[in-house]
Amino acid sequence: MAQITLIEAVTQALAYEMKHDDSVVVLGEDVGVNGGVFRATQGLQEKYGELRVIDTPLDETTIAGLTVGLAVQGMKPVAEAQFEGFIYPMMEQIACHAARMRNRTRGRLTVPAVWRAPWGGGIRAPEHHSEANEHLFTNIPGLRVVLPSSPARAYGLLLAAIRDPDPVIFFEPKRIYRQYKEEVPDDGEALPLDVCFVLRDGTDVTLVTWGAQVKESLEAADELAKQGISAEVIDVATLTPLDFDTIAESVQKTGRCVIVHEAPKTAGFGAEIAARIAEECLYDLLAPVERVTGPDTHIPLFRLEMKYLPSVERIVDAAKRTLAAS
């Protein structure tokens, strides 16, 4: 079985679903002959034709609105925003229509669509190509926000997102698009949405994270283990609707929690998780909840961007602070 990267897993999932479901179409800028700027749609137009792999005019608003219309007519569109920094013109269509069509019409019309976007920093890209803006979507009711963190989860969660009867924002951590390979059988098996994945069991501290930071968090757990500290690592994967029970169960066990994300700290999605811990697990805590996040600044251009992103060292430090507190 072939070993594939995260971006290849995205392509594999799209190809599988296009092969097995005629209503699946892909649309966006450069998704056709060019196969997408990251090659996520490589080879799809050749296989499935221009009617199902659609190069659109260069307008994000158009892509987002077409996606709503296609989905209402019973297609399963997978739209690509070329970068998360260009997703803002799509937000009106996503927030005002995709996420509320079912509610508006009492279920008469629905939008089973996916918006994919390469997400996050760390690839030495130009301005507007490195944002972590998932929290701008997590406050929109009726929308799922999903972030895979490995090739296998990219494959399984994208299949689930396409099959889901409601709209999904699927942010792909581009920093780890090609970071490593793993075996991902092309068996069409979806992973469940709306659940967190416990990637590593531990007893002393819970590291809660998503996207590219899963890798740093796992490395931090390795480092902490060397120092005799047992860290549990949770990949949230679907931010909304949130599976808080898995997080609560872990925090009740460890009594300590470090939330790791690369978006700015204030009102980032870590704030929601910290608030939920305060509401539901306060008396289980042995130490204050820590957040390791980007600062409340714009992500700098690339000479400084690695100083912005959470590092293994910062995660280890935060975990050790929670242990020092109790």
Partner 1 sequence: MSIAAKFEIEYLQYLDAEGKEVRKDLPAFAKDLDHMVELYKLMLSTRVFDAKSIALQRTGKLGTYASCLGHEAAHVGIGSAMKPEDVLAVSYREYGAQLYRGVQPREVYMYWGGDERGNDYQKEPARHDFAWSVPIATQCLHAAGSAMAFKIRGEKRVAVCTIGDGGSSKGDFYGAINVAGAQNLPLVAVIVNNQWAISVPRKIQSGAPTLAQKGIAAGLFCIQVDGNDIIAVRKAMEDALERARNGEGGSVIEAVTYRLGDHTTADDARRYRGEQEVKDGWEREPMKRLRNWLVAKKVWDDAKEEAWKAECDEWMDNEVNAYLETKTQPVTAMFDYTFAEVPADLAKQRDYVLSLDQKAH
Least Å from the CB of residue 238 to partner 1: 9
Q: Is omega for the bond preceding 241 within 30 degrees of 0, making it cis? A: yes
166 binds partner 1 (CB under 8 A): yes
As a residue count, the chain comes to 326
User: Total residues contacting partner 1 (rule CB under 8 A)?
Assistant: 47
Q: Is 64 in the site for partner 1 (CB under 8 A)?
A: yes
Query: Considering the rule CB under 8 A, would residue 243 count as an interface residue with partner 1?
Result: yes
Residue number, 145 or 315, with CB nearest to partner 1: 145
Residue closest to 81 by CA, chosen among 26, 136, 33? 26
| DSSP reduced 3-state for 284 | helix
- In angstroms, the CA 207 to CA 196 distance is 12
Q: How far is the CB of 241 from partner 1 (least distance, A)?
A: 4
Question: Segment contacting partner 1 (CB under 8 A): 106-114, 196-204, 254-262, 315-323?
Answer: 106-114
CB of 227 to partner 1, least distance (A): 35
Candidates 74-82, 124-132, 183-191, 203-211: pick the segment binding partner 1 (CB under 8 A).
Answer: 74-82
d(CA 139, CA 240): 8
Residue 280 host element (H or E): helix 269-280
State which residue, 241 or 300, has the beta carbon closest to partner 1. 241
* Residue 129 among the catalytic residues: yes
Interaction between residue 146 and partner 1 (CB under 8 A): no
- Please report how close the Cβ of residue 142 comes to partner 1 at its closest, in angstroms: 5
Q: Which of 103, 139, 227, 297 binds partner 1 (CB under 8 A)?
A: 103
**C-alpha distances in angstroms, 251 versus 94, 227, 257, 276?**
34, 20, 6, 11
- C-alpha to C-alpha distance for 5 and 14, rounded to whole angstroms: 14
Nearer to partner 1, 51 or 324 (CB): 51
Which one of 129, 135, 261, 298 is the catalytic residue? 129
257-264: strand order across its sheet:
197-200, 231-235, 205-209, 257-264, 290-294
Candidate segments 28-36, 235-243, 283-291, 306-314, binder of partner 1 by CB under 8 A: 235-243
DSSP helix/strand/coil, 269:
helix
CA distance 239 to 197: 12
Nearer to partner 1, 63 or 292 (CB): 63
How many helices (H) and strands (E) in the chain?
A: 12, 14
303 part of the interface to partner 1, by CB under 8 A: no
- Phi/psi of residue 162, nearest 5 degrees: -65, -40
Is position 72 an interface residue for partner 1 (rule: CB under 8 A)?
yes
Does 140 bind partner 1 (CB under 8 A)? Our answer is no
Catalytic positions, written as ranges: 129
Give residues in contact with partner 1 (CB under 8 A): 25, 51-52, 54, 56-57, 59, 61-62, 64-75, 77, 89, 92-93, 96-97, 101-110, 141-142, 165-166, 194, 241-245
